[in-house]
Amino acid sequence: MALAKRIIPCLDVDNGRVVKGVQFVDIRDAGDPVEVARRYDAEGADEITFLDITASSDDRETIVHVVEHVANEVFIPLTVGGGIRTVDDVRRMLHAGADKVAINTAAVFNPDFVREASDRVGSQCIVVAIDAKQVDADGKPTDEATGRWQLFTHGGRKPTGLDAIDWAKKMVDYGAGEILLTSMDRDGTKIGFDLALTRAISDAVSVPVIASGGVGNLQHLADGVLKGGADAVLAASIFHFAEYSIHEAKEYMAAQGIEMRL
Amino acid sequence: MYAGIVGNDSSATAPGEAMSQIVVVDYGMGNLRSVDKAIEHVLADNQHVKISSDAAEIASADRVVFPGQGAARDCMKNLNERGLDQVVLQAAREKPFLGICMGMQVLLRHSQENDGVDCLNLYAGEVRAFADESLREQMEHLKIPHMGWNEVAQKQSHPLWHDIKDGSRFYFVHSYYVDVEDAGLVAGTTEYGIEFVSVIARDNVFAAQFHPEKSAHDGLQLLKNFCRWNGEA
């Protein structure tokens, strides 16, 4: 009898279409965010995250319509990230039907934006996304387990010099209601979350932490909770390519004693 | 999807009866679109749902939904400034009334949020913080806000629980909880460090801390039950 850990499928949306090839045999249009969201809801997804990767700012408005269409038909929490830079952006997303917005780069360049946004719409709507890489004592990326991580921007290419744990604490002080933590070392590798990073951040902050980056199998999801201490796990490709269904993942995690909504 | 939940079965009223109006109270506290759309999904044929901040429309509605998110002080301030406090209280006394999240909390006498806020005082009780010093031991290792899907133990049989299994999970996101003085109000409880009251119900009022509009199948079922409820417990 407790709060369930969450599984959150993440969809990349480019100019209104789901990209990175969602592959479901029984879906008519795998590029249609509404169809894909419905499918994930039916499989038992606890939330859905949309990441807007639309390059041109002229086309940014399309994500608002995506959120509207999905929110009209899918009744689970929706988070939207990508290109959120102003309180007005935040409001537009919430008004369209998003429950939370994820703020990433804009928080790095202007931390007060997080404070302003959470003051206006409430902390519960503000997720701060943290992209972290393991670094050595000089702040250079390293594969060695140093127990030290730095915040990076631009898909992990640009170092900020900011310690990831300190940054997470600061963002919570500024009003983040949740942390979406991505290991840029693991993103796309399918070798599992950076569990040491996940544990370090999860222990450091009072708000829920979503682990992201590196999921390749169901044990990785379970480890994110059991070893990393994550409150939720986010994954993209293992669900998109129908390697595993979300229901299957939940059964697997529940069998390891993790509280799940089945 | 949501098979068996969609409305359009005219069971709420006999054919030929006038349209029945459900009003979602808009007092500037957060996004009401999801509540509106979820209700639209489960309406009966002769029902209509509308978001409104108009006192006369709220007063003449057949059913009232009182949602809300954000901080207690803003909530009460907005209600008072818009002159909606009395019309909401009146609705809670006379017609099927569904409070959601902050819309449940402000039905109590007082909230500890924002250094203390006087609320609508429909029910005796206090809105308390999970982060309160007195709960430090129980809340150790638990994240605040309480965010995600948790179980609701049904403590009263109630028409709004129709077709929803005892212990079903609903979506929560909150840092404060209601502590009602009258145990007879309790219609559901949830565990998060402590066992807190997640649903209250009396006469024509049903109010939940969770978000039915974000709780998938069971949440829609609850909204559907509300649309068909005559307000008798």
Write the pLDDT tens digit of every residue in A52-108: 988 777 777 899 999 999 999 999 999 999 989 999 999 999 989 999 999 998 999
Nearest CA to A124 out of B214, B188, B123 is that of B214
Record the tokens describing residue A143, joined without a space. 């594969």
Chain mean pLDDT for chain B: 92
- pLDDT at residue B73 is higher than 70: yes
In this predicted structure, what is the pLDDT of residue A79?
A: 97
DSSP notation for A192-237: ---HHHHHHHHHH-SS-EEEES---SHHHHHHHHHTT--SEEEESH
State the SS3 of B16-58.
CCCCEEEEEECCCCCCCHHHHHHHHHHCCCCEEEEEECCHHHH
Q: Would the CB atoms of A99 and B219 count as touching at under 8 Å?
A: no
Q: How many domains does chain B have?
A: 1
Q: How many A/B residue pairs have CB atoms within 8 Å? A: 98
A131 has catalytic annotation: yes
The amino acid at residue B52 is S
Interchain CB contact of B144 with A (< 8 Å): yes
Q: What count of Cα atoms within 13 Å lies in the side-chain half-sphere of residue B113? A: 23
Q: Would the CB atoms of A77 and B214 count as touching at under 8 Å?
A: yes
In this predicted structure, what is the pLDDT of residue A199?
A: 98
In chain A, count of helices (H) and strands (E)?
Answer: 10, 11
pLDDT: which is higher, A191 or A59: A191
Span B123-138, mean pLDDT? Answer: 96
Span B154-158, mean pLDDT? Answer: 97
Phi and psi at B18, nearest 5°, equal -70, 160
Record the tokens describing residue A138, joined without a space. 């000089």
Plot region of A156 (φ>0 → left; ψ -120 to 50 → alpha; else → beta): left
- pLDDT at residue A156 is higher than 90: no
Selecting among A14, A32, A41, A131, the annotated active-site residue is A131
d(CA B192, CA A2): 6
DSSP notation for B174-198: ESEEEEES-GGGEEEEEEESEEEEE
Catalytic positions of B: 101, 211, 213
Q: Please tell me whether residue B10 adopts helix, strand or coil conformation.
A: coil
- pLDDT at residue B204 is higher than 90: yes
Q: Which residues of A touch B (CB under 8 A)?
A: 1-6, 38, 41-42, 46, 68, 71-73, 75-77, 94-97, 99, 121-125, 177-178, 206-209, 231-232, 261
The amino acid at residue B168 is S
| Total residue length of chain B | 233
* Beta carbons of B197 and B124 less than 8 angstroms apart: no
Interchain CB contact of B159 with A (< 8 Å): no
The amino acid at residue A146 is T
Domains of chain A, earliest start first = 6-255 (3.20.20.70)
Q: Please tell me whether residue A5 adopts helix, strand or coil conformation.
A: coil
Strands (E), A70-157: 78-81, 100-103, 126-134, 149-153
* DSSP secondary structure code for residue A3 in this structure: P
Q: Quickly state the pLDDT bin for A228 (edges 50, 70, 90).
A: very high
Q: What is the CATH number of the domain that holds B177?
A: 3.40.50.880
Full domain range(s) for residue B40: 20-227
- pLDDT at residue A222 is higher than 70: yes
Q: Quickly state the pLDDT bin for A132 (edges 50, 70, 90).
A: very high
Q: Which chain A residues touch B213 with a CB distance below 8 Å? A: 75
d(CA A205, CA A176): 10
Span A159-186, mean pLDDT? Answer: 96
In this predicted structure, what is the pLDDT of residue B10?
A: 46
